[in-house]
Copies of this chain bind each other. A is one copy, B any other.
Amino acid sequence: MARRSEGLSDRHKKIMTFLTKFQEDNGYSPSIREIGDSIAVKSTSLVDYYLNQLEEMKFISREGRVSRSIRVLKPYLPATAKVSNALRQVGRSLEDLIAIPRLGVIQAGQPIPIPASDLAYFDSESGVEIARSLLPSREKVSDLFALEVQGDSMIDASINDGDIVILRQAQEAANGEMVAVWLVDRDETTLKYFYREQDTIRLQPANPQYAPIIVDNPKALRIMGKVVMVIRQVPTVAG
């Protein structure tokens, strides 16, 4: 185990991720023991030990002696967590229609930066409204967000300039899935097919005119979400 790592250790990160995800999935906090299970730790005291550290570092806060009272102060996935939080208020109050926040523009071709911070704010007026009946039933509303596509590198994947893509938050992806990834180095977000190879990750634009992006450091990219739906408004020549 890594010792003395300043900032968050691996365990801390796992816990924060678990906390964030658990709360999004269930709407309430996990218990100490549930957290322990998630990081394969049997003893409750050790979990408590970590939680105290996280509280010390202002990553969470909790009420003494109150079950499941952990609040995530600095979501480990800052943008996405905040968004889903906002979404929960609108989305869950409605059964048929779902307002999905349109976070911004994603450049599918030559990637142009969407600073991650941009993902943090979401103005309800810019949301995309979707009928729940169109979504696979298993989709959790709170995990969804929308982006508008610019660029044409995904043309062969049936995604065009101007399309609106609905994504589900995810931190991982299987080979061949279409994902939105944040490239840390370039500080930009792009839409690509995801392939994990031996030591690298290949981000493949479906359009063969564009070269794939090869990432050798897994930490240099963060998967923001998987594409679950594409909406395209076809312009008609004459109204």
Chain A interface (Cβ < 8 Å from any Cβ of B): 26-29, 31, 63, 66-75, 86-87, 89-90, 92-94, 96-97, 99, 124, 128-131, 133-136, 138, 155-156, 158-160, 163-164, 168, 174-178, 226-234, 236-239
Contacts and interface: CB of A to CB of B under 8 A. Distances in A.
Contacts of A230: 158, 230-232, 234
B237 A177 contact: yes
A178 B175 CA distance: 33
B158 A232 contact: yes
A136 B87 contact: no
A166 to B, nearest CB: 9
A162 B210 CA distance: 26
A68 B71 contact: no
Contacts of A236: 168, 174, 177, 226, 228
Contacts of A71: 26-28, 92
Contacts of A229: 231-234
A69 B155 contact: no
Number of copies: 2
A211 B159 CA distance: 23
A12 to B, nearest CB: 17
Contacts of A130: 131, 134
A206 to B, nearest CB: 10
A204 to B, nearest CB: 15
Contact of A29 (B28, B128, B175, B228): B28
Contacts of A31: 67
Contact of A131 (B131, B138, B156, B228): B131
A229 B235 CA distance: 8
Given A158-B232, A233-B228, A237-B174, A93 B74 contact: yes
A34 B232 CA distance: 37
Nearest to A131: B129
B28 A176 contact: no
